[in-house]
Amino acid sequence: MSRRFIAALGAAVAVLGLVALPASASPEAEPPPAPAAAAAQTLTWTGNDSVTEYASAPTTAVAGETTIVFENSEATGNTTFMSHTLTFDTSTPGYNHDVSLNILANPFDANNGRHEATVTLTPGKYRYYCTIPGHTTMAGEFTVTGGGEDTTPPVVTATITGTQDGEGNYVDQATVNLAATDTGGSGVASTEYKLDDGAWTPYTAPVAVSAIGAHTVAHRATDVAGNVSEEGSESFTVVEGGGGEDTTPPTVDATVTGTQDGDGNFVESATVTVTATDNEGGSGVATTEYKLDDAQWAPYTEPVLVSVLGAHTVGYRATDEAGNVSAEGSSQFTVVADSSDTTPPTVDAEVSGTQDDEGNYVDVAMVTVSAEDAESGVASVEYKVDDGAWTAYTTPVAVNTPGMHMVGYRATDEAGNVSEEGMAHFTVVQQDTTAPTVTGNVVGEQDENGAYVGSAMVTVAATDNDGGSGVASVEYKLDDGAWTAYTEAVQVSAPGAHTVLFRATDQAGNVSAEGSATFTVVTGDVDETPPSVSAVVSGTQNSSWQYLDAANITLSALDTGSGVASVEYKLDGGAWTAYTEPVVVNTAGTHEFLFRATDLAGNVSAELPGSFTIVESGPKPGPDVCPDSDVRDTVIIGDIDSQVANIDIGNGCTINDVIDEDGDWNTHNQFVRHVKAVTKELVQNDVITRALRDRIVTAAVNSTVGTPTSRL
């Protein structure tokens, strides 16, 4: 079977951030010969269809020679044939960096997704993650022990760096660098520092000290066995550069730009650019801030786009490194609608699905609506099915009720112009009359009476093997609550008896019989212990530990009592924000953040700090991995033209290359699943939009690629 699309897509991922694999880990390389003697232990990771976590991963290991197994195959649950990597972090402070491992696995590679590598682990912690764009929340860590009792504390040393004057004082800023080692065998667990009279703080990156005056930094380290080093300390003095004390505030100004009408109003939007300098004071600009109308002061990092219609006032100020604050400036302007746009948008709809010999759609028809407006832009798209109400259009509409249907559609642009109503006519016939099957399961810690202690987890699964149209939705209802879409396991922690109902609906509209599960939750011991919370900052770093272009903040919390209820963070003095996924920061400069966690019993952890610096890097052009590209103007699948531009995806390959319509596809469904998978990654990588992906998938569904006819 041809797998040119796998090679092209794998190369595309490599251009987007993968490190070149060693020959022993390359998916195209032959498996390495068996070693003469087996490694002391084997650690296994597996991947499936999830892009947020590995299917399984180890948490502990012992030091020594180790066989690493990474399997990402159909056998481990990967049914969408997506690629994953197992990559060891060799840059984030606080982890061992002595193992360089980067395995790319795909169910269709030369090893059928199963790869092995032999490494030597040392005591301490290792961090691993997946480098494929969109999969970076797949990350974790494991602890390696020395295999024996460790009673020897670690050793920590401090180094102070920076520009020094003739008396050894640091000019403007000093940077504290800590390094810890552990010869006892269990490995370093944590390193901490305390600046002057401050609190002990986890050390994750070099600490910049710019406050003028004498300073003392204390430091200590703890190993995995709990041994704490003696406290060390270093003293130093920071003096002001520039030839004297800076008492002059910086100067700050703002310009407002954009298209203006005859009255000086800005049409559709205005862009506010703030600039600050500190030429007279000499210490340099530390921060620049702005506030729009009645909003709070916010850090200024890039020009601010204002598109809300009406009169606006923007305030701005700057602070230098010596703490001098400029006078507040302000600019007033008005944003108005584009009255010159009198042309309504154009709107169209496509109907897709399996059709019978008479052109009727079998079980379900998918209606995809698209709109364009070359002037003010599309503001909204709506549709209505038969005599139903107009509804905002966001994703393709599934119509599965048997009979004739009319789907109306229209669009409105930003200037208020409304298109003429379009209409799509089609008929749906039902062949699938068999409802899907649905099952539920309740898991958790149980007492001797079978009651669940603290909480219970309810999982629901549905299949539609007999009907054939496929599961469209799964729902559950807890006690007297409303029916709710089921997307992930449901945790029930309220004490008492509970009943959960569940049902599923297939694409043809058949609804399963309702299943039910009854269980009881009881309270355990009173939880008075707050959760533990940690943060990891990741990204590409230079030799000064600065992150190039962007950094990701990943937070994790653990609570062995009532369980974690929420995790929050606060970035650069902003408001506390609920943490749901890694936070991407791509603004150059030094950033500080706080993080905390709360458990279900209401206990709140201590607020912990972190900081990092981002600098800009230059462009990194990649190789052309598809020199013989399919360069047709649009994405064409079989004899169907999707009308989507066949662009280069960033590595010399075009969209048609990764679609691989000429591959040896066993079934039409297999080809369609492949198209859905690769276009999903193209959307995640910002190569195409969701609307363009829908067009490509519709063309794949309506094509004959993978059918017996196409293989004649």
For the stretch 525-559, pLDDT in tens is: 667 788 888 888 888 877 678 888 889 999 988 87
Q: What is the pLDDT of residue 315?
A: 93
Q: What is the mean pLDDT of the chain?
A: 85
Confidence of residue 317 (pLDDT cuts 50, 70, 90): very high
Q: What is the pLDDT of residue 272?
A: 94
Nearest to 532 by CA among 493, 569, 560: 560
pLDDT over 90 at 348, yes or no: yes
Q: What is the CA radius of gyration of the chain?
A: 30
- Judged by average pLDDT, the poorest of 196-210, 270-284, 381-395, 476-490 is 270-284
Q: What distance, in Å, lies between the first and last C-alpha atoms of the chain?
A: 16
315, containing H or E segment: strand 310-320
Confidence of residue 173 (pLDDT cuts 50, 70, 90): confident
Percent of the chain with pLDDT over 70: 90
pLDDT over 50 at 1, yes or no: no
Nearest to 143 by CA among 225, 69, 53, 75: 225
Q: What is the residue extent of each domain of the chain?
A: 4-145, 155-239, 251-336, 346-420, 437-522, 532-615, 634-711
Stronger pLDDT, 410 or 710, i.e. the higher one = 410
Contacts with 214 (C-beta within 8 Å, 6 or more apart), sequence order:
235, 236, 237
DSSP string, 350-376: EEES-B-TTSPEES-EEEEEEEE-SSS
Q: Which CATH superfamily is 437-522 part of?
A: Immunoglobulins (2.60.40.10)
Q: What is the pLDDT of residue 572?
A: 93
pTM: 0.30
Q: Which CATH superfamily is 155-239 part of?
A: Immunoglobulins (2.60.40.10)
DSSP string, 71-124: E-SGGGT--S---EEEEE-SSSTTS------EEEE-TTSTTTTEEEEEEEE-SE
pLDDT over 90 at 651, yes or no: no
pLDDT over 80 at 246, yes or no: no
Nearest to 22 by CA among 104, 91, 95: 104
Confidence of residue 4 (pLDDT cuts 50, 70, 90): very low
Sign of CA dihedral 225, 226, 227, 231: positive
- Judged by average pLDDT, the poorest of 8-12, 53-57, 527-531, 662-666 is 8-12
The 3 state secondary structure assigned to 59-76 is CEEECEEEEEEEECCHHH
Contacts with 57 (C-beta within 8 Å, 6 or more apart), sequence order:
45, 46, 128, 140, 142
pLDDT over 50 at 23, yes or no: no
Task: Assign a CATH topology to domain 251-336.
Answer: Immunoglobulin-like (2.60.40)
Mean pLDDT of 228-247: 81
Q: What is the pLDDT of residue 147?
A: 63
- φ and ψ at residue 12, rounded to 5 degrees: -60, -40
* CB-CB contact of 711 with 671 (8 Å): no
Q: Which two tokens stand for residue 408?
A: 């109306």
Q: What is the pLDDT of residue 26?
A: 40
pLDDT over 50 at 224, yes or no: yes
Confidence of residue 13 (pLDDT cuts 50, 70, 90): very low
pLDDT over 70 at 282, yes or no: no
CATH classification number, 4-145, choose in 3.40.50.880, 2.60.40.770, 2.60.40.420, 1.10.3720.10: 2.60.40.420
**Architecture of the domain defined by 346-420:** Sandwich (2.60)
Give me the helix-helix angle, 690-702 and 668-684, nearest 10°. 170
Rounded Cα–Cα distance for residues 350 and 355 (Å): 14
Q: What is the pLDDT of residue 637?
A: 92
- Calculate the CA 178 to chain-centre distance: 31
4-145 and 346-420 agree in CATH topology: yes
Instruction: List pLDDT tens digits, range 588-611.
Output: 899 999 999 998 778 899 999 999
Q: Cβ of 313: how many Cβ atoms within 10 Å? A: 12
Rounded Cα–Cα distance for residues 112 and 50 (Å): 18
- Judged by average pLDDT, the poorest of 73-82, 134-143, 405-414, 591-600 is 134-143
- Calculate the CA 113 to chain-centre distance: 24
Instruction: List pLDDT tens digits, range 31-62.
Output: 555 444 446 799 999 999 998 899 999 998 88
Q: Considering the domain 532-615 in this protein, what is its CATH number?
A: 2.60.40.10
- Calculate the CA 692 to chain-centre distance: 22
Instruction: List pLDDT tens digits, range 63-112.
Output: 889 999 999 999 999 988 888 999 998 877 677 889 999 999 989 888 99
